[in-house]
Structure 1
């Protein structure tokens, strides 16, 4: 598998999508104490600083270098506002899945739809991907709105396809393909 390019994006309004660093680890730990966020992410509880440091450095870089995925920070004025990951990369089919989260103080500002739009455009236009998927629990209204605002198309529901700390959940499948960028 080829390595994924070290993607860094900046929007006209100052939203930055770039690599995580070890300096982001404390903000990651803080974000993962939020019960609203934890409802949808099956994470260790508590989320130790050592795990965050490993994720922000070695794990994220190993994913990118191996071609298995890419982990990007979402920043406003240099602060970590959230994260977006491309995972389940299939180089033969040129597909991947995006997942994302927004830290509580940054919710409701439209940051995540812009970040999802920007990263998916880069993957489709500049990196040759042919399909980007989102898989979202039906009860996660904020994430469903993000998918729609970012230009993804709802395809259907995969029953019992995901899990959270509360158990199994259905997942709503959304996609974006190169033709969608022509709309």
Structure 2
């Protein structure tokens, strides 16, 4: 599983969801734009928000499927959205990113900034080899976020998505370690290639080293 961590960018703090996020999560996930492209319950109730913030988001990390972050404003601490990893392939070191942005935070590049922050952590600190992003072909806003975050468009996956009872085509984007800027050298002087080889030879030893680097 991924280690518990807090990530920071110029404007944002990415942290685990908690009880204090329940009201804003409900408001965000009840919004028609958020609902349009995500397979969320309809209506999105207070119980749904409570389950996500206190149980479901944390269970995804515990199961090894991924990790979920609340996107918060570094100054006000208010919830601005969600970004997270899912469908993680630990053998291939590949994971898929997903996100939503709260209505009051849209139009300020929040999703792209949060996605870039998570990508740098995944592809450097966690030594992954690929991050994927999938967006419905008609979801042009999400595709714009992918390009702004530095992803490369690879093609269309026909009938690969399922949203509110209907199949949809998905555009596949990817980001590799070599796509990141500036340097790929993580803290501690280890090269990305060396860290990746170390993880493959002895994952337990690598997790121990990661813990020391982030403690």
TM-score (norm 1): 0.94
2:33 maps to which of 17, 32, 36 = 36
CA distance in 1, matches of 2:5, 2:115: 13
Structure of greater relative contact order (alpha carbons < 8 Å, 6+ residues apart): 1
Q: Give the superposition deviation at 1:51.
A: 2.0
| 1:106-145 CA distance string (max 9 Å, x none) | 1110111010001011000000111100010111111111
Residue number among 4, 13, 23 corresponding to 1:6 in the alignment = 4
1:46 alignment counterpart: 43
SS in 2 for 1:4: coil
Task: Describe the SS at the equivalent of 1:68.
Answer: coil
- If each structure's helix is expressed as a fraction of its own residues, which one has the higher value? 2
Residue matched to 1:64: 61
C-alpha deviation, 1:32, in angstroms: 1.6
- 1:84 has 2:94 as partner: no
TM-score, normalization: structure 2?
Answer: 0.80
Runs of 4+ deviating beyond 3 Å: none
Cα deviation for residue 67 of structure 1 reads 1.5
* 2:142 is aligned with 1:150: no
Please state whether the residue corresponding to 1:156 is helix, strand or coil.
strand
How many pairs does the alignment contain?
A: 180
Gaps of 5+ in 1: none
Rg larger for: 2
Please state how far the C-alpha of 1:7 moved relative to its aligned partner: 2.6
Using the TM superposition, give the Cα deviation of residue 60 of structure 1 relative to its aligned residue in structure 2, in angstroms. Answer: 1.7
Gaps of 5+ in 2: 183-215
**Cα distance in 2 between the residues matched to 1:87 and 1:166:** 21
RMSD of Structure 2 on Structure 1 (CA):
1.3
